[in-house]
Amino acid sequence: MAVDEIFDDAFFASIYDLFNEWDAWDDFYLDMALEIGGDVLDLGCGTGRLACRMAAEGLNVTGADPAAGMLRVARSRTGNERVTWVQSDGQSLRLAERFDFVYMTGHAFQTMLTDAEAVALLTAVAAHLKPHGRFVFDTRNPAAKAWLDWTPDGPRAVVDGGDRGRIEEINDTAADPATGIVEIIHRYRFLDTGAERVGHSRIRFIDRDHLAGLVDQAGLTPVVWYGDSDRSPYTPDSPEIVAVLRRRD
Ligand SMILES: C[S@@+](CC[C@H](N)C(=O)[O-])C[C@H]1O[C@@H](n2cnc3c(N)ncnc32)[C@H](O)[C@@H]1O
The order of strands in the sheet holding 220-226 is 84-87, 60-65, 39-43, 99-104, 129-140, 240-247, 220-226
| pLDDT for residue 184 | 97
Enclosing domain of residue 59: 5-143+206-247
| pLDDT for residue 235 | 98
DSSP-assigned states of every residue in 109-148: GGG--SHHHHHHHHHHHHHHEEEEEEEEEEEE-GGG-GGG
Same domain, 200 and 210: no
Same domain, 32 and 105: yes
pTM: 0.97
Same domain, 186 and 115: no
The stretch 40-65 carries a mean pLDDT of 98
DSSP-assigned states of every residue in 2-65: PPPHHHHSHHHHHHHHHHS---HHHHHHHHHHHHH-SEEEEET-TT-HHHHHHHHTT-EEEEEE
pLDDT higher than threshold 80 for residue 155? no
Count of domains observed in the chain: 2
| pLDDT for residue 230 | 98
Task: Kindly indicate the confidence band of residue 167, based on its pLDDT and cuts at 50, 70 and 90.
Answer: very high
| pLDDT for residue 1 | 65
The stretch 16-44 carries a mean pLDDT of 97
- Best mutation site among 21, 50, 70, 92 for ligand 1, i.e. most ligand atoms within 8 A of its Cβ? 70
pLDDT in tens, 97-151: 999 999 999 999 999 999 999 999 999 999 999 999 999 999 999 999 999 999 9
Q: What is the CATH number of the domain that holds 231?
A: 3.40.50.150
- Best mutation site among 65, 85, 103, 114 for ligand 1, i.e. most ligand atoms within 8 A of its Cβ? 65
What lines the ligand 1 site, CB under 6 Å? 1, 3, 7, 20, 43-46, 65-67, 70, 89-91, 105-108, 111
